[in-house]
A and B are shown apart, each in its own frame.
Chain A
Amino acid sequence: MNLLSRRLTAILVPIGLAILFIQFAQLIPELTTPQFENAKDYIMQRGYEETGAKNLVSAIYLDYRLFDSLFEAGILLITVVGIVFMAKSDEDVY
């Protein structure tokens, strides 16, 4: 029973994560339209008025691609926790 539930979890959790990932990926707006050939033209022309950031790098990583930036910050958190966990001697792990 325990083994069965564990295997079910091992199958269901990746499927759930994949569904969530597809859902979120569809929320990110598509920047290539017939009017603009590639994303560069779109951001150069519309970036300032759509986001309000004069620095277009900021416009991308804090507005168009905010989803990526948020979890990039999460990666940093996990990295720091991992380094502290591995560097600490065994008796005083948090």
Chain B
Amino acid sequence: MKQSILVITISRIMLPFVFLYGFYIILHGDLSPGGGFQGGAILATGFLLTYFIDDERRVDLSRLLRREKYLFLALLLTGTLSAITRGQPFTNFLSPDFPLEIRRIFFLLLNVLISLKVALGLTAIVETFLEEGQE
């Protein structure tokens, strides 16, 4: 890959802002447009920027995929937890008696889980293409 000092410098400046914006989109998922999937895609873009900074950087693919599987199981658990607490699956596990600020925990949890899963998945795709392209 061609290396340019301009691209490296601009990427280093942009990197923290990209991650900050990604986390903003995720944590405000239930208040404003955006959400877990979009925020996760932004986080994966930030990860792509680290390849512009250092193209020798490598991540273990099997570890990424294993973590993604665990996150998917955690998502399923969070979704079906309401079958125990409220008696009906696939809805908020906190009952409607709680104030709205506390019931928001459910959305935050799901958005964070989905975003991490999407970020890991897109990172794994990019990593695969980079590894195979170098041979």
Which residues does A use to contact B, with CB under 8 Å? Answer: 27-28, 50-55, 57-59, 61-63, 66-67, 69-70, 73-74, 76-77, 79-81, 83-84, 87-89, 94
CA distance A62 to B105 in the complex (A): 12
A27 proximity list for chain B (CB < 8 A)? 88-90
Interface residues of B in 80-106 (CB under 8 A from A): 88-92, 96, 100, 103-104, 106
B81-135: which have CB < 8 Å to A? 88-92, 96, 100, 103-104, 106-107, 110-111, 114, 117-118, 121, 124-125, 128-129, 132, 135
Bound Cα distance A75, B76 (Å): 13
Which residues of the partner chain A approach B13 to less than 8 Å between Cβ atoms?
A: none
Closest to A65 in B: B90
CB contacts (< 8 Å) of B31 on chain A: these are 53-55
- With CB as the reference atom, state the residue of chain A lying closest to B117: A73
Residue numbers in B under 8 Å from A87 (CB-CB): 128-129, 132
B48 to chain A, nearest CB (A): 15
Q: Report the Cα distance A63→B86, complex, angstroms.
A: 13
When distances are taken between beta carbons in the complex, the residues of chain A under 8 Å from B110 are 62, 66, 69
Does A51 lie within 8 Å of B29, measured CB to CB? Answer: no
Please state if B65 and A54 are interface contacts (CB–CB under 8 Å): no
